[in-house]
């Protein structure tokens, strides 16, 4: 964005840069305020003795065991073989043919 703004006249460039900064600050402020509300509403997830943290711990342990055993590769193979979406074809539209 800045590279596009710099070749413009000085006044126009400063106006565009100020508009960009105001928009960026507004977006970051909205994220910060909404994030505080979300954290306040999700205090139950931060309780170290709560069911959520214990369950998440067990999930991490099971995922670690699956990775060590190589089951993650089996799962990836199964998903690719049985998926109606072919991931290797998703970007073929972006590459021009010929």
Euclidean distance between CA atoms 39 and 94, whole angstroms:
39
Residue 96 DSSP class: P
The predicted structure's pLDDT at residue 5: 46
Look at residue 17 and give its three-state secondary structure.
helix
pTM: 0.49
- What tens digit of pLDDT does each residue of 52-88 get? 999 999 999 999 999 999 999 999 999 888 988 877 7
For 21, half-sphere exposure in the C-beta direction (CA atoms, 13 angstrom radius) is 8
């Amino acid at each position: 964005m800045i590279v596009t703004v710099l070749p413009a006249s000085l006044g126009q460039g400063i106006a565009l840069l100020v508009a960009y900064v105001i928009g960026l600050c507004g977006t970051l402020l909205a994220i910060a305020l909404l994030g505080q509300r979300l954290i306040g509403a999700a205090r139950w997830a931060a309780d170290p003795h709560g069911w959520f943290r214990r369950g998440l711990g067990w999930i991490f342990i099971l995922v670690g065991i699956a990775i060590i055993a190589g089951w993650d590769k089996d799962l990836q193979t199964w998903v690719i073989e049985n998926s109606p979406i072919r991931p290797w074809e998703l970007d073929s539209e972006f590459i021009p043919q010929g």
